[in-house]
Structure 1
Amino acid sequence: MGSRYGTIIMGPAGAGKTTFCSSLIQHLKNNRRSCFYVNLDPAAEEFAFEPDVDIKDLITLEDVMEELHLGPNGGLIYCFEFLMENLDFLTDPLEEVSDEYLIIIDMPGQIELYSHVPVVPNLLKALTRGSLNISMCAAYLLESTFIVDRAKFFSGTLSAMSAMLMLELPHVNILSKMDLVKGQVARRDLKRFIEADIGLLQDAPESGLMYDHKEKFDAGIQEDVTDGRDFANLNRAVGHLIDEFSLVSFLKLDAQDEDSIGAVLSYIDDAIQFHEAQEPKEPNDAVEETEMDGMG
């Protein structure tokens, strides 16, 4: 068997990862493409599509927190360490997946897993090497409402870059829930967010990012160590760090829009070279598939 193909869906809590997975699966079904859905969130409860592999059949966050008296973050790390000790739970089903499938891995929302501890990088090494040999693309979702607060947006951008450097995979960054900011951001500014332009930090004095130290000094106002000026300097330092690496740009996503899902999928397919490995089908094969689908 040749290479397998997959994408790992990551991002902070509330970014819309599971919704994106569901929309992606539905899009694949609509286009007669096969997929294999893996849930690796041990706290997830509801799914639009039943996972083919669900980590909760091995271990749940609720049980870990109750039995080991751990918090949510510590419990999640324990769940993934337990998964690594029982990796055949995941790898055995994946051995049966052919190269016609897109493996979709839905991850938890704790970004520490992608930026602070080695457990997820070690998991991905196990999946992308050896007998599985999965050609994997990481998709990092950031909620588009972050762009309303520019400092928050660049903080999220930094976490995306941290995941890119930690995981060492082909990577796409996605601004999700674009329908929530429609009409709130000028098209010209939106393009600058897509390219993560650090000039945005200097262009918004009303946001509090620009701090006029002289005015405060002239007014005799005593400044705190963590005053607005320091906050602005910190934001600029983060912005310059992102700019120096020149790694992060975003795709726009509206999970309710079929064309938007298709556009993001095309980037994922290109990153993993999915279509290059698919054998072209004869016209008669396509007709036979359509007839069989009609019979089903």
Structure 2
Amino acid sequence: MSESSKGSPLAFGQVVIGPPGSGKTTYCHGMQEFMGRIGRKVAVVNLDPANEGMPYSCAVDISELITLSDVMENLKLGPNGGLIYCMEYLEANFDWLQEKLAAFRGHYYLFDCPGQVELYTHHDALKNVFAQLAKWNFRLAAVHLVDSHYCTDPGKFISVLCTSLSTMLHVELPHVNVLSKMDLIEQYGKLAFNLDYYTEVLDLSYLVDHLASDPFFRNYRRLNAKLVEVIEDYSLVSFVPLNVQDKDSMRQVMQAVDKANGCSFGDQEHRSLEALMSAAVGADFHFTSTLAVQEKYVQSQDKTVEEEVMDM
């Protein structure tokens, strides 16, 4: 690959970002396996210098260049400052990254990124790394993972919407927001609204009204209303639900990302995908149904309404 994009073949991929614990590494593992089953050659690039014991097959690992533990020990930095230093060090060593990536021409790339939110909202190091990849003819989409448990708390969900919007505007890549761990959503508590309200980010005034019923948030109604107004004015944020163990859910996310980064969808891959979707699942890849989770939740809501009617 040359410094300029001229003469370089197109390379497609995803930069997987999101706060700590949102499931980025698990997502990369699941997507690597899913894409491998439909015949797509995948190279996972670990850009998180704190990532240890990765479950996926790692093609390029930033720990060969720098690690967070070394930075913290030698420079006496905390974890946040250390991560920023590591990303700036990566930015200063593009030649290392270019050489490592060149060994995987013809692959689809998954970049497993650190979980520090500041790196995606106002710090420029990773943004500059993504821009350099674009100069090398990489066509990337940002996959921003958010833990679905935030849906159970209206205040936290507004915060997530603000963070997602800020990330979209700062990173400057085609963007797919994903609500991860959908198979666990019922364990987090009852949702105030139906699931599509959160994925489609529908009329947020209902969320502000719901918050106003809480004495703690009542004094912040005007602030929440203004935050919601900003989110709705941009009208950019929506989410794709994801259960990484559900093949239909993985297919929907993959196709959303393919549409965002312009990745072509060949006939052979299409046939492989159709065969995978219709075939019985092997014991080594256990799927549950995200749709079933949603249906079950909707049914439980309907039952609650019926019970309320009977009580009246």
Q: Please give the range of the TM-score, normalised by the shorter of the 2 chains.
A: 0.7 to 0.9
Which residue of the other structure, out of 158, 177, 181, is the alignment partner of 1:173? Answer: 177
Give the secondary structure class of the aligned counterpart of 1:45.
Answer: coil
- The TM-score, its normalising length taken from structure 2, stands at 0.78
Q: Give the RMSD, CA atoms, in angstroms.
A: 2.2
Give the percent of matched residue pairs that are identical in Structure 1 and Structure 2.
38
Q: 4+ residue stretches of structure 1 with deviation over 6 A?
A: none
Following superposition, the deviation at residue 275 of structure 1 comes to 1.3
Partner of 1:272: 261
Partner of 2:306: none
Consecutive unaligned residues of structure 2, counting only runs of 5 or more, are 1-7, 272-312
Partner of 1:237: 226
Give the secondary structure class of the aligned counterpart of 1:204.
Answer: helix
Which residue of the other structure, out of 14, 20, 26, is the alignment partner of 1:19? Answer: 26
Following superposition, the deviation at residue 125 of structure 1 comes to 0.7
Give the 5 Å matches for 1:1-296.
1-99=8-106, 101-129=107-135, 132-182=136-186, 184-185=189-190, 189-197=194-202, 198-204=204-210, 208=214, 228-275=217-264
- The TM-score, its normalising length taken from structure 1, stands at 0.82
Following superposition, the deviation at residue 280 of structure 1 comes to 7.0
Aligned residues: 261
Distance, in Å, in 2 between the alignment partners of 1:143 and 1:273 is: 26
Give the secondary structure class of the aligned counterpart of 2:22.
Answer: coil
Following superposition, the deviation at residue 186 of structure 1 comes to 6.1
**Contact persistence 2:28–2:56 (CA under 8 A):** no
Deviations 1:212-262 (A, max 9, x none): xxxxxxxxxxxxxxx643333222221111111000000000011111111
Task: For 1:240, give the aligned amino acid.
Answer: E
**Contact persistence 1:149–1:207 (CA under 8 A):** no
Distance, in Å, in 2 between the alignment partners of 1:113 and 1:29 is: 30
**Contact persistence 1:150–1:200 (CA under 8 A):** no
Give the secondary structure class of the aligned counterpart of 1:275.
Answer: coil
Distance, in Å, in 2 between the alignment partners of 1:68 and 1:188 is: 48
Distance, in Å, in 2 between the alignment partners of 1:257 and 1:200 is: 31
Distance, in Å, in 1 between the alignment partners of 2:46 and 2:211 is: 43
Deviates more, 1:183-192 or 1:232-241: 183-192
Distance, in Å, in 1 between the alignment partners of 2:211 and 2:160 is: 20
Larger radius of gyration: 1
Distance, in Å, in 2 between the alignment partners of 1:162 and 1:106 is: 20
Deviations 1:155-203 (A, max 9, x none): 1111111111011111000000001114855696211111223123234
Note closer, same or farther for the CA distance 1:80–1:186 as it changes in structure 2 (3 Å cut).
closer
**Contact persistence 2:13–2:138 (CA under 8 A):** yes
Distance, in Å, in 1 between the alignment partners of 2:267 and 2:247 is: 26
Note closer, same or farther for the CA distance 1:188–1:207 as it changes in structure 2 (3 Å cut).
closer
Task: For 2:249, give the aligned amino acid.
Answer: S
Consecutive unaligned residues of structure 1, counting only runs of 5 or more, are 212-226, 284-296
Deviations 1:135-169 (A, max 9, x none): 01000011000001111011111111111101111
Task: For 1:196, give the aligned amino acid.
Answer: V
Task: For 1:89, give the aligned amino acid.
Answer: W
**Contact persistence 1:201–1:235 (CA under 8 A):** no
